[in-house]
Amino acid sequence: MTQNVVLPALYERMIECGMVDLEPWELLRGAEQAQRMKHLDEVFPGWSLVPIARRTDNDDVACWTGIHVVVVDDYDVMRDATGAAVRHSAKEYASMDEWLIAAIRDFIEFD
């Protein structure tokens, strides 16, 4: 993982309980998570984002920062005049718990 970031216990618990598909969100793990992390490191160098879930209906990725969860679109990157990625997150959650509650709301509303 990026700079030895420890993932929240809730993430691990969700995997253990089989809560990996909360349509439209899907938890990332294994090779898929590693591939997405590599892409994030290339697109957002130095941001230390660990992808934990992706939306299946768009390019949003929920990422653990070591403190909170940010949702970014890693294929629609805003850049400054020098070409560097501008830090912008579509949404930000103070904890994994808050993100999970929002993901469950998305699950209820998704059709």
β-pair partners for 70: 63, 92
- Cα–Cα nearest to 69, from 24, 101, 39: 101
CA 111/CA 4 separation, integer angstroms:
37
pTM: 0.86
Per-residue tens of pLDDT for the chain, all 111 residues: 445 668 999 999 999 999 999 999 999 999 999 999 999 988 888 888 999 999 999 989 999 999 999 999 877 777 778 877 666 667 999 999 999 999 999 999 997
